[in-house]
Chain A
């Protein structure tokens, strides 16, 4: 769906009188200095352009048409509008028409290769399947990040449980890893993603303290939709949506959508503030 008018109509149909109608715009209409835009519905943006746009304009939601229909992506934002904290609930479905949903709960010390094996077994996938390697990478990286957060906050939080939520709709998978503990410095993460894209992976290794951003960059590159959510009470939940019937080369070039969900986003009347 590339026609601007069509997308506007769809957004109006799905989201009613919400802010999204006025925020749907085409790349041609887009001005980076217009910080009032909170949702950008675009087409043909590269993964690097999306990160740069989010940093420069403080955009929280950038969506593109993909394997998951645009209408579903808009509905997702609409559901967040009623209460963004719902996103942290285990029964909050990411894929509107999931055929199967399962929550796995692990202790923070559980080995990540076992997590991967269990998720793959549930999905009926072969662990060494070439087309499922990006999903494997996402499980390893997101679970490893959650383990690090759970370790860091183990004194302050009474739980060190990590939830892994898996949804499936045909060949589309949604994977969420929720650490119930950590707080994600969004700006820092975005900057690392941008630096990694700009400098390349090898140079970014020597960049500052903490993770180099390689793991999240790989996850982002393989995802069709990448969602980062963090709240002081609810912890951090990272979600990726990706198809498992494409080879990794194709996944990298798929149009991506991107969401940041944080407690600073509030709605006033019909608009984000």
Chain B
């Protein structure tokens, strides 16, 4: 990707899985990458997006993301290390998640009101009826107790999305 783009993409091929790491923020320029990806996708069994270093996705980027998801169907897509803002957008913007897309892991926000401090914890995501019960309501880090800063049912709404 050229330096003029606000995001960088690293691509790796592992056992017929295409692994794509995105760093930076996704905007309308994602169009070019998405067009290339749609040509590549039939050659792979699965596309894995690694999103830990994704910093933002604006509305023009959301549009291109949805188009990209549509264009690689039916190749399965796995989303790993989804940041909190990305999960919020998955929940709010329908079409960002389709039947062939699955969230494998995501960050969950925790907050300590007294200290005005927040942290995020990476959790594996499993589609099961008992999953929400496994998400901790409180965690402790360095002697500080943090409360879950989301409503579980709302934050993990994406598990119920069927497109």
Q: Is A bound to B?
A: yes
Q: Show the binding face of A for B, using Cβ within 8 Å.
A: 111-113, 127-131, 133, 136-137, 140-141, 144, 200-203, 205, 211-212, 214-215, 218, 221, 247-249, 252
Q: Within 8 Å CB of A221, what residues of B?
A: 92
> Is B149's CB under 8 angstroms from A215's CB?
no
Per DSSP, chain B at the interface is mixed
List residues of B (76-94) whose CB comes within 8 Å of A's CBs: 84-85, 88, 92-94
Per DSSP, chain A at the interface is helix
A214, B25: Cα distance in complex, Å: 17
A265, B85: Cα distance in complex, Å: 38
A141, B56: Cα distance in complex, Å: 12
> Is A129's CB under 8 angstroms from B118's CB?
yes
Q: Show the binding face of B for A, using Cβ within 8 Å.
A: 6, 25, 55-56, 58-60, 62-63, 66-67, 84-85, 88, 92-96, 109, 111, 118, 120, 149-151, 154-155
Kindly count the residue-residue contacts between A and B in the assembled complex, taking CB atoms under 8 Å apart: 78
A194, B160: Cα distance in complex, Å: 25
Add 20 more A-B contacts to A113-B6, A202-B95, A218-B59 (CB < 8 A): A111-B6, A112-B58, A128-B55, A129-B118, A130-B84, A130-B111, A130-B118, A130-B120, A131-B118, A140-B56, A144-B59, A144-B60, A201-B62, A201-B92, A201-B93, A201-B94, A202-B66, A211-B59, A212-B59, A252-B92
Q: Within 8 Å CB of B55, what residues of A?
A: 127-128
A144, B27: Cα distance in complex, Å: 11
Q: Within 8 Å CB of B120, what residues of A?
A: 130
Q: Within 8 Å CB of B85, what residues of A?
A: 130, 133, 136-137, 248
Name the CB-closest residue of A to B98: A202
Q: Within 8 Å CB of B96, what residues of A?
A: 202
Q: How far is the CB of A116 from chain B (nearest CB, A)?
A: 8
A133, B92: Cα distance in complex, Å: 14
